Chains A and B, each alone.
Chain A
Amino acid sequence: MRRLILGCALFLVTALSQPGDLLAHAKLRRAEPSPGSVVKTAPDVVRLWFALSPNEELDPQRSTVSVWDRRGRRVDDGKGGVDLGDLDRRTMIARLKPIGPGTYTVRWKAVTFPDRGVSRGSFHFTVVPSRGP
């Protein structure tokens, strides 16, 4: 009986202590500009890094990223998605049109290959006017 309880406890501990990156969904690890940050110079690209299990990657055909201003206008070139320059397929990139000061929303949808686990998310960053020249 004691062994049984011990076994169950061990099982629970191992089952619950799984690191997140073993789940089938991509998780946003970091981004540039980073979520919630305030930057002084307007970026021309937004880059997102994802955490995936070793056997997975982002599906370039299904993963998307877009950047929007406060008025709901799209400020990227409309082609944002998996960065094909990253051979690990763990990065997404959106190229921005020239933008001014303001708060912008980044919306992403990450679809994993091969099992098509879908995760979505969004975050903001703010561009403040840099002090005059």
Chain B
Amino acid sequence: MPGIFRTMRDGRSVARRTILLVLLLVGLGGWASPASAHGVLERSVPPPNASLPAPPREVVLWFNEPFDPAFSAATVVDQSGKPVSKGFSASEDRRRMTVSLGDLPRGIYVVKWRALWSFDGHTTSGFFLFAVGEQAPTQAAGTGAPGRARVLVRWLAYAAALLLAGSHIFLLFVLRPSGGTWDMESALRPLAVLAGVTLLLSTAAEFALAALELFENPLPQLLSGGMLWPLLGGTKAGWGALLRIGAGALLLLPSAPNGRMAQAAGLIWVLLFAGAAALAGGPSALLSAGSHSLPLLLTISVYLLLIVLTVLVVPTILGESLPDLPWIPLLTSAALLAGFTVSSHASGNGIVAALADWIHLLAASALVGGWASFLLVLWHCAPRERVSAARLILPHLSTLFGVSVLVLVVTGLYATVLYLPDVQAFLTTPYGRLLLIKLLLVFAILLLGAANRYGLMPQVATLVSKDQVRALRRLLGSITAEVGIGALILLAVAALTITPPARVRGETKAPSQERPLVLAGLAGEFQVRLAVTPARPGQNRFEVTVLGPGGKPPPPEARTFLWVTKLDEALDPQRIPLSPQEPGRYVAEGGQLGLPGWWQVEAVVRLPGWPDASTTFPLPLGEAPLRATDPEAARLLEGATRVMAQFPSWREVQQITDGAGGVVVTWYEAQKPDRLRYRTSSGTEGIIIGSTRYLRTGSGPWQRDTLPQPLILQGPLQPYAQGAEGIVRGREVPCGEEMCQVVMWEAGSASFAAWIGQGSHRLHQLLMVAPAHYMTLHSVVPAAQIRIAPPGSP
């Protein structure tokens, strides 16, 4: 860019130039950003390359942005390519796909998905593998690899559009003000024609490639399935293509009087139609607006008739005095570039981002088209005229470049702030690395531009004729190099637009740094700690540490695993095998806790020749809205509270963990109406009789104190069921010798899930979650012989 610093006098300080250079660098860095976009697969259940012990019922895919359900789908096929999915559904927020499956035999399966994003109309497809009952392959998983063809086509479309628009900007703002001849103007014509044709072809090819990604058999489906119009008129990809093709075709019209008239009329029509479509929410929405379509069609046909008449009649009347209409090609070029903005991620980020993207593209086209046009005009001149032509053109070109670079800096800075989360993202994300490559290229081009402006251009302007020619030749060579680097930058831009912005990647990386939930408990004589990271639905890492008596790890032949059961839904319980890492430490990773809701996790330690030792934890994941009470559930809870209240005395075991690795297990013996005896895993013993409490640690002396309120026992379930709201039924589970109904409710800040016998109404197990409290109450059994007396009494 030879003329960036035209307004600066050569004597200005070097420091100031350096600051400007740095600003330029950062600003231009954002050049491509507004045009880049993309939805990515955030997570899935099962996750990619998962090896599942049991066949999943469904595959759930979560995306970072909404997709268009009409053009998006996911399927599951087996290794031979045979589809095994039974149904597909999209969630209401259009960010989640669910594929339902039949019973899958052992084997490896491929999940294929494709999506058209609502924000920018871009298409992405991807696939990953999972295995049932065998080791999953670790390699293949792909997300939206659109291949070289799409990068190439996109690069061609960008380059052609920037050249086409840029040549018109050059014509209007540089060549004509600097007194360029008609001959010079005609030198630009081949460039415009070539760029225009390339633009039309590459746009069509880009659209076809998008269709190829969306449909397995694109052409027949597009034509016979009636999908062409919905895709063209109903998606941003289609709108962008329509606008680009329309404006590109108009720019190809000859500059003869008829052509100029046709271009003006066509532009008005395109703008009217695009404006109406924008108001209606897309061309297909506009035309399907029922009763409005007939008058619209009438208007269009009348207008078309008028255009034909105008084009044929007006030039014959006005002849040579027909105005030149120089602004028409410029406006058409602007409309053409808007065709890129429509299908860019910026259009999903609000009007300001879209405007910034559009202006950024205009400025970029002024630069790119300006270089190319300048070269073409000079090459077109006879060698002897070149110096004088350059001296005429360069001042105006400098102004244009100066303004363009300023605009690029402002819009680029805005886009960088909008899309790059932090400086580290330059190195840590593919997007950032591409951006860095582009920045280096921009830096190179800036160096060349500065050398031109401060080295060669003054020479062209001042030196004597022989040296002038040499300087001009070097200037031209330097500008050619700049054009070459510019093409490389465009290639980086094309690649950037198919790379998800760093901000998207940054969000998906976050969960691994989350603090784990650490549940601790006693499984027989083993102390078990279970760390779940992250403690939310999706892909989780499970880490279990087991300590036996005396703090020793269990023997190496011990096996540890988890049973996870969803309590609010009748999904099959899943076994998560844990692989030993070192003595007493076991690890697994998986998406078994994929769905939000009430989960129960049972950690099992199994030694050869021994019954299982296990401990159970409550694990509610995700936000659960308070639901209306189900009368049947309320009746069950009330029945259970009543049945349990009939025990005159009972035993129970209560385990409470704080979610950070702490645990207290308490063995209770209770005798109505006011006597309680307990022993905790930390070695404390207590006896409560009314409001008197006796406490001792180990075999120490008993301490006596008084409770603020006397103890009143009404039954094992009573204290938890008080004030229950949102009582609902969950799944049915076998328990003891009967079937249990899981009943869930909320009380205060705690959530409960109780296993209640369907026949006996006995409470088999109670889980509770409150802030920093994960409680499991089990082994609630009536015991008639319990007599609780103060310590020391016979």
Do B559 and A87 touch across chains, with their CB atoms under 8 A apart? yes
Do B611 and A114 touch across chains, with their CB atoms under 8 A apart? no
B16 to chain A, nearest CB (A): 70
A residues in contact with B773, CB < 8 Å: none
A22 to B608, CA, bound (A): 26
Interface residues on B, range: 20 to 34
Identity of the chain B residue whose Cβ is nearest the Cβ of A23 in the assembled complex? B103
A residues in contact with B609, CB < 8 Å: 84-85
Q: Is the interface of B mostly helix, strand, loop or mixed?
A: loop
Number of A residues near B (Cβ < 8 Å) is: 19
Identity of the chain A residue whose Cβ is nearest the Cβ of B608 in the assembled complex? A85
A130 in the interface (beta carbon within 8 A): no
A112 to B575, CA, bound (A): 13
A11 to B106, CA, bound (A): 17
Do B54 and A60 touch across chains, with their CB atoms under 8 A apart? no
Q: A84-B608, A87-B606 are in contact. Are A55 and B734 (CB under 8 A)?
A: no
B84 in the interface (beta carbon within 8 A): yes
B residues in contact with A115, CB < 8 Å: 572-573, 734
Do B82 and A10 touch across chains, with their CB atoms under 8 A apart? yes
A54 in the interface (beta carbon within 8 A): yes
B residues in contact with A19, CB < 8 Å: 105-106
Identity of the chain A residue whose Cβ is nearest the Cβ of B573 in the assembled complex? A114
B residues in contact with A116, CB < 8 Å: 734
Determine which of B55, B84, B611 lies in contact with A60 in the assembled complex, contact meaning CB atoms within 8 Å. Answer: B611
Do A14 and B102 touch across chains, with their CB atoms under 8 A apart? yes
Chain B residues 331 to 351 lying within 8 A of chain A, measured CB to CB, are: none
B133 in the interface (beta carbon within 8 A): yes
Q: A15-B102, A87-B606 are in contact. Are A53 and B54 (CB under 8 A)?
A: yes
A116 to B105, CA, bound (A): 21
A residues in contact with B574, CB < 8 Å: 55
A118 to chain B, nearest CB (A): 11
B residues in contact with A11, CB < 8 Å: 86, 102
A54 to B608, CA, bound (A): 19
A84 to B133, CA, bound (A): 23
Do A84 and B610 touch across chains, with their CB atoms under 8 A apart? yes
A112 to B612, CA, bound (A): 15
A residues in contact with B326, CB < 8 Å: none
Do B86 and A54 touch across chains, with their CB atoms under 8 A apart? no
A86 to B133, CA, bound (A): 19
Do B608 and A114 touch across chains, with their CB atoms under 8 A apart? no
A85 to B606, CA, bound (A): 10
A residues in contact with B608, CB < 8 Å: 84-87
Determine which of B53, B83, B606 lies in contact with A55 in the assembled complex, contact meaning CB atoms within 8 Å. Answer: B53
A residues in contact with B733, CB < 8 Å: 114
Q: What 1/0 mask marks residues of chain B from 565 to 581 whose CB sits below 8 Å from any chain A CB?
A: 10000001111000000
Chain A residues 59 to 118 lying within 8 A of chain B, measured CB to CB, are: 60, 84-87, 114-116
Q: What 1/0 mask marks residues of chain B from 70 to 87 whose CB sits below 8 Å from any chain A CB?
A: 000000000000111010
Q: What 1/0 mask marks residues of chain B from 384 to 402 whose CB sits below 8 Å from any chain A CB?
A: 0000000000000000000
Do A10 and B83 touch across chains, with their CB atoms under 8 A apart? yes
Identity of the chain A residue whose Cβ is nearest the Cβ of B575 in the assembled complex? A55
Q: Is the interface of A mostly helix, strand, loop or mixed?
A: loop
Do A22 and B55 touch across chains, with their CB atoms under 8 A apart? yes
Query: Using a Cβ cutoff of 8 Å, how many contacts connect chains A and B?
Result: 50
Identity of the chain B residue whose Cβ is nearest the Cβ of A86 in the assembled complex? B608
B426 in the interface (beta carbon within 8 A): no
Q: What 1/0 mask marks residues of chain A from 14 to 32 whose CB sits below 8 Å from any chain B CB?
A: 1101110010000000000
Which one of A10, A14, A19 has the greatest number of beta carbons of chain B within 10 Å?
A14
B563 in the interface (beta carbon within 8 A): yes
A19 to B54, CA, bound (A): 13
Identity of the chain B residue whose Cβ is nearest the Cβ of A111 in the assembled complex? B734
B residues in contact with A18, CB < 8 Å: 103, 105
A85 to B53, CA, bound (A): 22
Q: A14-B84, A114-B734 are in contact. Are A55 and B573 (CB under 8 A)?
A: yes
A18 to B102, CA, bound (A): 10
Identity of the chain A residue whose Cβ is nearest the Cβ of B134 in the assembled complex? A54
A104 to B674, CA, bound (A): 59
A22 to B609, CA, bound (A): 27
Do A55 and B572 touch across chains, with their CB atoms under 8 A apart? yes
B103 to chain A, nearest CB (A): 5
Q: What 1/0 mask marks residues of chain B from 99 to 117 whose CB sits below 8 Å from any chain A CB?
A: 0001101100000000000
A57 to B242, CA, bound (A): 61
Chain B residues 99 to 155 lying within 8 A of chain A, measured CB to CB, are: 102-103, 105-106, 133
A residues in contact with B563, CB < 8 Å: 114
Identity of the chain A residue whose Cβ is nearest the Cβ of B610 in the assembled complex? A84
Q: What 1/0 mask marks residues of chain B from 359 to 380 whose CB sits below 8 Å from any chain A CB?
A: 0000000000000000000000
A residues in contact with B611, CB < 8 Å: 60, 84
A55 to B574, CA, bound (A): 6
A53 to B105, CA, bound (A): 10
A86 to B607, CA, bound (A): 9
Which one of B83, B86, B103 has the greatest number of beta carbons of chain A within 10 Å?
B103
B557 to chain A, nearest CB (A): 8
A85 to chain B, nearest CB (A): 5
A residues in contact with B133, CB < 8 Å: 54
Chain B residues 594 to 638 lying within 8 A of chain A, measured CB to CB, are: 606, 608-612
B residues in contact with A10, CB < 8 Å: 82-83
B576 to chain A, nearest CB (A): 10
Q: A54-B54, A87-B606 are in contact. Are A22 and B575 (CB under 8 A)?
A: no
Q: What are 21 of the A-B contact pairs (CB < 8 Å)?
A: A10-B82, A11-B102, A14-B82, A14-B102, A15-B103, A19-B105, A19-B106, A22-B103, A22-B105, A54-B53, A54-B54, A55-B54, A84-B608, A84-B609, A84-B611, A87-B557, A87-B606, A87-B608, A114-B565, A115-B572, A115-B734
**Extra contacts besides A11-B102, A19-B105, A55-B575 (18): CB < 8 Å:** A14-B84, A14-B102, A19-B106, A22-B55, A22-B103, A54-B133, A55-B53, A55-B573, A55-B574, A60-B611, A60-B612, A84-B608, A87-B559, A87-B608, A114-B563, A114-B734, A115-B572, A115-B734
Give A residues with C-beta under 8 Å from B: 10-11, 14-15, 17-19, 22, 53-55, 60, 84-87, 114-116
Listed from nearest, the 5 A-B pairs whose CB atoms lie closest are A55-B54, A54-B53, A114-B573, A87-B559, A116-B734
